[in-house]
Structure 1
Amino acid sequence: MISRRIFAMVALAGTALAATAPQVSAQGAGYDKQKVVYHINYNGGDDNKSYKGALRNIQNHINAVGAENLEVKVVMHGNGLGLLMAAKEDDRLQTSVGSLKSQNVGFNVCANTLKGRNIDYSNDLYDVWEEDIVPSGVAELSKLQQQGYTYIKP
């Protein structure tokens, strides 16, 4: 298993390479339409680095495939709700979440976690609406995979 530190170094190296790599269109790269679900159930670490990295992964995915060729859902439960809690105070997270939402990325929040941790989504989480709440984060992951979504854990 790759440690978070090694993963972070690889991610940073990949980001640097992506910045200097020639831009290739989704068609030129051979990408067909994709449906993916990103699973976030961990805490963000120092300065929310893990959350910011996950959101960067999603944006890089969109950049590679094209928003018009991609259906993306982010399912958060457990410690993963920390992403939207932290976004209440972190401008970079707010910008990233808002940008992804503007590209039709859906953010789903687990009702079980809200209830179990006594979290008020309208006051404690950034930009969450009733229609964003799913009964169970893990059940939603399974449902989406049954619908053909590819599972990704950044």
Structure 2
Amino acid sequence: MRLIAKALFALTFGIFVLAQPALANERYGTQKVVYHINGNGGKDSKAYMGAMRNIQNHINAVGAENLDVVVVMHGNGVGLVMNAKDDDRLQTSIGSLKSQNVAFHVCNNTLEGRNINYSDDLYDVWEEDIVPSGVAELSRLQAMGYTYIKP
């Protein structure tokens, strides 16, 4: 009888463990999300790292395959990719998120207004990452059904 009880427990436990990802998918489904970064982290990357952790936690909960994430930076938020030029932690975090298909969009109005050269002054930003206007991009994505999150 003990052997049967142990076998039933092991089977039940195994089903529970294997069902955890399915339960998360059932709970959250697929999501489209835009993260808005415009705050002033200054030279201290702590606020930016917090935002990157929020995004990674979101991915961990929903699953990268169930999540379409865009990060839109404008104003002081461009400091995220500016500080990353000299911050290994930010570089690692950005690289990890990009490997999970997170897109990073940078406002061209901010770049022009602050005389920032994306290829010289920003970390891992390419021409296709530049959007004409950060706020217009936020509006466009929300109109497309993206949920707005401000970390």
> Any residues of structure 2 matched to 1:40-55 within 5 Å, and which?
40-45=37-42, 47-55=44-52
> Any residues of structure 2 matched to 1:90-105 within 5 Å, and which?
90-105=87-102
1:119 maps to 2:113: no
| 105-114 or 36-45, larger mean C-alpha shift | 36-45
SS at 2:148 equivalent: strand
Q: Which residue of 2 aligns with 1:131?
A: 128
Q: Which residue of 2 aligns with 1:74?
A: 71
Larger Rg, first or second structure (1 or 2): 2
1:20-40 CA-to-partner distances (Å, cap 9, x unmatched) read: xx9x84431311000000000
Q: Which residue of 2 aligns with 1:28?
A: 23
SS at 2:86 equivalent: coil
- Can you give the 5+ residue segments of structure 1 that lack an aligned partner in the other structure? 1-21
Runs of 4+ in 1 over 6 A off after TM superposition: none
SS at 1:127 equivalent: coil
Change (3 A) 1:44 1:25: farther
TM-score by length of 1: 0.82
Aligned equivalent of 2:62, options 61, 65, 68: 65
Q: Which residue of 2 aligns with 1:13?
A: none
Per residue, is there more helix in 1 or in 2?
Answer: 2
- Can you give the 5+ residue segments of structure 2 that lack an aligned partner in the other structure? 1-16
Identity of aligned residues (%): 77
Q: For the aligned residues, what is the CA RMSD?
A: 1.7
